[in-house]
Amino acid sequence: MEKDKNWKLKTKIVRAAHYGCPQTGSIAPPIYQAVNFKVDNVDDGADRCRNFDNGYIYTRLGSPTQTLLEAKMAELENGEAALAFTTGVAAITATLMCILKQGDHVVADGTVYSATNYFLSNLMTDYGIETTFVDCSNPDNVKKAVKENTKIIYFETPANPTVKLVDLKEMAAIGKSRGIMTIVDSTFGSPYLQRPLDFGIDVVIHSATKYIGGHGDVMGGIVIGKKDLMDAIRDKTLKNLGGVISPFDAWLLFRGLKTLHLRMQRHCENAMEVAKFLEGHPKVERVFYPGLPSHPQHELASKQMDDFGGMIAFELKGGFEAGKTLMNNVKLCWLAVSLGDVDTLIQHPASMTHVYIPQEEKLKAGITDGLVRLSVGVEDAEDLIKDLEQALEITK
């Protein structure tokens, strides 16, 4: 079996990158659980050390199972090449550290995953790299924040945890007209819902821990973009900081990916039903779900996403206390961080995932004390609604 360039996305999700093991014919790919690869002679060893394209040598530089995952993700995102890391955070930090140098400036959205915020606002500053945080959902804010030394525009869409959207086409245009690289964390979308490179974005990042794996049993991070940039990241910050994915984790993610479309379809269907239920509930103040016409960027979502995803944020009329009661009383939803699992997960960003961010910044990013984040799983929507209903009953 060989790849057909006309395959549609769902066929690529199932079939891309592995066309049967050449030695055994196994349809599931083998796991190369190996650290070392023998070289033919000293010159061959030197060539492989110098350039990864000359062959495997040591798994910290890359392994065959990792290559499979990278090839599949590059195909799904319509990118030239990809790199796989041990976590999403490893992918983000290695990418930024490869591109940025002392004296550079970043424009980043104020609503990003807390570790990304921490990295830019506390760690990179130690190395002379400054970040201006703005609301990228208004492109004028980005244009105003750009400086002479701006190297990167960085954002998430949909953003964690408020499910705010950023216009991919607009950001790409701003970047291209000023020679600034655009990087999007597309974790909430997954390649099933949006393919940012098609809009002109330079680099796409995923926490593969979420929808790519899908089962809450493996961590990983993926970066997709131009081959020369991926080569530079491998050579500089993957190899030398060491956040490479293990062969087994790469294999688990490759397996998880095969059902991405099936899981995402159900995540989207369920989230739409749950969002409608929440929006009609008297104890709910506001629901943020891109699929609802009430979402301020519903129109943009319809333009740049194929469906609206599994992530919902909502605020209760009773604020923090009501949120706490709700979360302490759900029975089917797990009270847990992370997202994108087949199981429904509920959490409170202000006190859990985004606890490290100063209150003022949290409020600027829309992370109020009463905001609840729901990662809708693939259970029966009726059961999920029943669970939320009984827990809302108890809240004041």
Which residues of this chain interact with ligand LCS, rule CB under 6 A?
87-89, 113, 115, 156, 160, 185, 187, 207, 209, 219, 221, 337-339, 353
Give residue 214's region: left, alpha or beta (phi > 0; psi -120 to 50).
left
For strands 221-225 and 81-85, give the pairing: antiparallel
Q: What is the largest CA-CA distance in the chain?
A: 73
Q: Between 156 and 202, whose beta carbon lies closer to ligand LCS?
A: 156
Cis peptide before 161 (omega within 30 of 0): yes
If residue 250 lies in a helix (H) or strand (E), which one and from where to where?
helix 247-257
Q: How far is the CB of 208 from ligand LCS (least distance, A)?
A: 7
22: tokens are: 């050449």
| Shortest reach from residue 187's CB to ligand LCS, in Å | 4
CA distance linking residue 273 with residue 271, whole number of Å = 5
Question: DSSP assignment of 198-215, as one string?
Answer: GGT-SEEEEETTTTTT-S
Neighbours of 45 (CB within 10 A): 16
Q: Which candidate in 32, 56, 113, 211 is catalytic?
A: 113
Which residue among 3, 44, 58, 60 is the active-site one? 60
Distance from the Cα of residue 281 to its chain's centroid: 30
- Closest contact distance (angstroms) between CB of 225 and ligand LCS is 16
Q: Which residue number, 90 or 197, has a Cβ lying nearer to ligand LCS? A: 90
Residue pair 275/94 in contact by the 8 Å Cβ criterion: no
Q: Which of 273, 384, 245, 388 is nearest to 330 (CA)?
A: 388
Catalytic residue among 48, 151, 210, 263: 210
154 has catalytic annotation: no
Q: Look up 185 and say whether it is catalytic.
A: yes
Query: Which CB atom, from 118 or from 320, has the smaller least distance to ligand LCS?
Result: 118
**Tell me, what DSSP letter sits at residue 318?**
T
- Cβ of residue 2: shortest distance to ligand LCS, in angstroms? 33
Which of 31, 313 has the CB closer to ligand LCS?
Answer: 313
Using the minimum distance from each CB to ligand LCS, give the nearer residue, 159 or 322: 159
DSSP annotation of 24: T
Tell me how far apart the alpha carbons of residues 215 and 318 are, in angstroms, rounded to a whole number. 33
Query: HSE of 137 in the Cβ direction (CA atoms, 13 Å)?
Result: 20
**Would you call the peptide bond into 158 cis, given omega within 30 degrees of 0 as the criterion?**
yes
Please, what is the minimum distance in Å from the beta carbon of residue 125 to ligand LCS?
Answer: 20
Q: How far is the CB of 48 from ligand LCS (least distance, A)?
A: 29
Integer angstrom CA distances of residue 360 from 110, 315, 365, 370: 11, 18, 9, 15
Known active-site residue 60: yes
Cβ nearer to ligand LCS, comparing 291 with 309? 309
| Smallest distance from ligand LCS to CB 11, Å | 27
Choice between 150 and 160, CB closer to ligand LCS = 160
The nearer residue to ligand LCS, 65 or 353, going by C-beta atoms, is 353
Q: Look at residue 320 and give its three-state secondary structure.
A: helix
| 58 annotated active-site | no
Nearest to 66 by CA among 40, 35, 98: 35
Please tell me the total number of residues recorded for the chain in this structure: 396
Q: Which of 135, 167, 185, 341 is catalytic?
A: 185
Active site residues: 60, 113, 185, 210
